[in-house]
Amino acid sequence: MLSLKRRCFYVLPFLFLSPSVAHPQNKAAVSLRDVRKIFVEPMPNGFDQYLIAAITKELSGRISIVTLKDDADATLTGAVNKEADGTPSTVARRVLGMDLTTGALRLLPKDGKTILWASEAGDKSIFLVPYRRTGQRKVAERLAKDLRKAIENSSP
């Protein structure tokens, strides 16, 4: 009969070689097509409210916005940058057709270790500038449309 030390000497190397013991199976990374519930983090200047409205409008029936982070499959984070109205640079940028408001978003899975999706957008409109929406609302609409396209392209 083999001693305990000798048995351990023969058995231990095989335990480390076994993939189920040596390298536990990690849960598969969440993909964009698996996301059904999104938590939108608070953002400066109330930009999160424009995003919630735009995403609800653009992705109704596909994505739900939840109010608790623990209930979400992914978290939407980001920021918006808006130049002050009435400043000379604002007037010049509007005349030249440049963005006055820009925003950037990223969608993170629950573990927050990867980025599922990221995009940025501005509010410039080349045609009919006085009659088109601008500002945070326009940026939110463009980002929601980008998210919808990304989800549609990721579907099998």
Does residue 87 lie in a domain region? yes
- Mean pLDDT over all residues of the chain? 77
Does residue 9 lie in a domain region? no
The secondary structure of residue 49, as a DSSP letter, is H
pLDDT tens digit string along 61-86?
A: 899 999 999 999 999 999 888 765 55
Residue among 84, 119, 80, 117 nearest 102 (CA): 80
Does residue 15 lie in a domain region? no
Query: How many domains is the chain partitioned into structurally?
Result: 1
Whether pTM > 0.95 for this model: the answer is: no
Question: Is the CA virtual torsion 68, 81, 143, 46 positive or negative?
Answer: positive
Domain CATH code at residue 71: 3.40.50
pLDDT tens digit string along 115-149?
A: 999 999 887 765 555 555 567 888 899 999 999 99
Does residue 60 lie in a domain region? yes
Residue 75, domain extent: 29-154
Does residue 145 lie in a domain region? yes
How are the residues of the chain apportioned to helix, strand and coil, as percentages rounded to the nearest 5?
Answer: 45, 20, 35
